[in-house]
Structure 1
Amino acid sequence: MRYSMAARWEKRIKLLWSLPFPNRALRFFPPEFIIRDPLLSLVHAYRRKGLHYAVIVIHMDDFQNILAKIPYSLAQKLLQQLKYEFIDVLKRSFNESLILGVKQFNPDDFTVILKVDKDWTYEDLHQKEVCFRKDVELNLNHFMEQQLYGRLKFQSGSMIVGQSTEHTEAALQAAYYYALCVATDRLPAHFAPYRLRLQEIIKDKAIYVLTQPIMCLDTGEIFGWEVLTRGPQHSPFHTPTELFEFAHQADLLQELEYLVLEKAFLEISSRSITEQVFINITPISLMQPTLLVHVLNCLQQYPKILATQIIFEITERHSIRDYEQMGTILRNYRSHGFRFAVDDAGAGYSSLQSISELIPDMIKIDKSVIQNIDQVAVKQSLLRALLFFAADIKCQVIAEGIEREEEANILFDHQVKMGQGYYFAKPERMQFDYARTHVPHLKEKIMQMRAAYNI
């Protein structure tokens, strides 16, 4: 066994040293070198020029079952013959100067890597992908029937790979994965152009943040600000729901939330905000060790911002799977002075579990509880239960989604200390003179309500 392994390595190394760098002769189905992949070298050199490339995945449905029914030696011969047939169709379908290479990540699919013409759109790529798949299906099924293996069902997906991911191999692997998911109907056909668009938005930092005041209902002063994210206007990613949900689906959530943090710290610094600042963060990003490093770097960049100003608002978009590990992470953040709030309290079991397991510094009562609370006695009972629970674990309470005076009056009646909602102020881009023009008006509004309510 040792001799066999040594002999194989000796053969690999001799072949490796005989190759020019990069090697175009092995761009079609390169052997799986451990030290260097010649096709990957070609793609890397192409990317270094700042150019994009495309990946087309042709998937052969149920091909694994065919391979499982025939002897191993025959299966290997069939795979080799299919490769020859595939390359023949590929060269007839595309100008060879556009072909960077072909790779087989799995026995039941072929991955073609193409240079992207500067005038190509995703619609152009999709049309070429469909035409190519039909040619492959026609020719390879003809061969399969001749060999008495029967017909195969062919599926296809494609992706354009930009410059957002620095590591060439990681970018290629991700492109293959998403194109395969499109091919096998695990992702919609429009996923590829949307993901590229979101990558460009993140790269260009084309999001912006709004701020909404959180009011102290005792004094009428502004207690803090919640930072809310918006994508480019007139795009599918303008609203935070679409923006963050798609970022999660496209495996871009961490990059997006890092960008939100940068924008939030810039906003705090440029507007000289001295109150508390609430920044939404998902449990997925919180679990990443690099997030704390990123946040501490932001503090170093803006030395006037204090860690004690920042309250991370743990959103309920994604559930927490390991509360013990999350508790350890929160303790690490708290050692630097950061605090935490749990969002959407009262909206479901997960938020209540998060409160009981993590013991946050603040609880934000969900707008579904506050909406029409003056008309629904059950909601008032739920509010009292949440207030009792918060007092018992020494958490501050903020009521979200206040839109009507009657709702605010119920909160006064229950001695809720802080509130937030359109009734006081909508989310907007903070102006330099916001404090001078808005704060007196908001304070007067709250104090008049308290006077009218005899508080």
Structure 2
Amino acid sequence: MTNTPIFPQPSGGCQGCRQKGEADMAFSFAFQPIVDVRDQSTFAHEALVRGVQGEGALSVLEQVDDQNRYRFDQLCRVRAISTAAQLGLTGFLSINFLPNAVYRPDMCIRSTLEAARAHAFPLDRLIFEAVEGEHVESNKHLMNILREYREFGFKTAIDDFGAGYSGLNLLADFQPDLIKLDMALIRDIHRDRVRQAIVRGVVGMCAELGVEVIAEGIEHPEERDFLADCGIYLMQGFWFAKPAFEAMAQIPVEAWQPI
């Protein structure tokens, strides 16, 4: 796709889109890189919600309820894009979204399009992934959201694949651009034959479906090397860099060095 921003205009609106909600919630973002070990480059940065002083995500998320869920989801998109643009991010930006906060994807995307236009952020550099731990009552609803987002030119991702709702049934009905393997599958995988077999199976399946795999939660070089040997080249985790508050994290040279 071209790097020139394209900003389609959804028409109309829904009740959720017209709700202004209460005063804007106070929060900011930290950014964690997703690296490509093939050329030691940064593929994307994931925007992770934080308090205004860098407090953990829980300090913000515990304020979200049924009354302000939509407003919070919309603010997350706008602030993630504006902050990334101010920091000069040039790769992909991965934004978590709350599926239960989306009423009609084609109409509730308006604030995202406006933020991208205001900050000259290309739509084809945005990745939307369902937020970790968000319970979705209907896979059909989530699939409809992901399909609509793809039509707008966004990349789509299934987070925490292998846990909760993010399983094989969802993948059978919709093939996103990316899946992110659940950290529970990654931990100490170089010592666990069962997890190794599962991950190899997922990699082979995704290769056949044309879906890229991201391994998150990398904390040890042995995990990095085993996953690379399996054909997973996109990785994220403390081994490469911790999330940097309102900044682009620097990846140390040691992160690439062999054991």
TM-score, structure 1 normalization: 0.49
Amino acid at match of 1:296: L
1:353 CA displacement: 2.7
Equivalent residues of 1:371, 1:401 under 8 A apart? yes
Residues 16-63 of structure 1 show CA distances to partners (whole Å, capped at 9, x for unaligned) of xxxxxxxxxxxxxxxxxxxxxxxxxxxxxxxxxxxxxxxxxxxxxxxx
Q: Is residue 372 of structure 1 aligned with residue 192 of structure 2?
A: no
| Alignment counterpart, residue 46 of structure 2, candidates 226, 240, 246 | 226
2:36 alignment counterpart: 216
- 3-state SS in 2 of match to 1:379: helix
Q: How does 1:191-202 map to 2 (within 5 A)?
A: none
Comparing both chains, which one has the higher relative contact order based on Cα–Cα distances under 8 Å and sequence gaps of 6 or more? 2
Q: How does 1:412-431 map to 2 (within 5 A)?
A: 412-431=228-247
Amino acid at match of 1:370: I
Amino acid at match of 1:408: R
Change (3 A) 1:309 1:350: closer
Change (3 A) 1:299 1:240: same
Distance 1:410 1:324 in 2: 35
Distance 1:329 1:340 in 2: 10
Distance 1:244 1:166 in 2: 19
1:232 CA displacement: 4.5
1:398 CA displacement: 0.4
1:372 CA displacement: 1.1
Q: How does 1:338-357 map to 2 (within 5 A)?
A: 338-348=154-164, 350-357=166-173
Amino acid at match of 2:170: S
TM-score, structure 2 normalization: 0.83
Equivalent residues of 2:35, 2:234 under 8 A apart? yes
2:64 alignment counterpart: 247
Q: How does 1:286-297 map to 2 (within 5 A)?
A: 286-289=102-105, 290-297=107-114
Equivalent residues of 1:287, 1:329 under 8 A apart? no
2:255 alignment counterpart: 445
Change (3 A) 1:349 1:294: closer
- 3-state SS in 1 of match to 2:33: strand
1:410 alignment counterpart: 226
1:287 CA displacement: 3.7
Equivalent residues of 1:343, 1:351 under 8 A apart? no
Higher fraction of helix: 1
Residues 351-393 of structure 1 show CA distances to partners (whole Å, capped at 9, x for unaligned) of 3332222211100001111111112111111111111121121
Change (3 A) 1:429 1:246: closer
Equivalent residues of 2:203, 2:231 under 8 A apart? no
Using the aligned pairs only, state the percent identity.
30
Distance 2:122 2:99 in 1: 23
Larger Rg: 1
Distance 2:169 2:131 in 1: 13
1:331 CA displacement: 2.8
Amino acid at match of 2:97: I
Gaps of at least 5 residues in structure 1 are 1-164, 168-198
| Alignment counterpart, residue 298 of structure 1, candidates 104, 112, 115 | 115
Residues 128-183 of structure 1 show CA distances to partners (whole Å, capped at 9, x for unaligned) of xxxxxxxxxxxxxxxxxxxxxxxxxxxxxxxxxxxxx869xxxxxxxxxxxxxxxx
| Alignment counterpart, residue 256 of structure 1, candidates 72, 81, 90 | 72
Q: Is residue 358 of structure 1 aligned with residue 174 of structure 2?
A: yes
Q: Is residue 308 of structure 1 aligned with residue 128 of structure 2?
A: no
Equivalent residues of 1:213, 1:223 under 8 A apart? yes
1:445 CA displacement: 3.5
1:324 CA displacement: 3.7
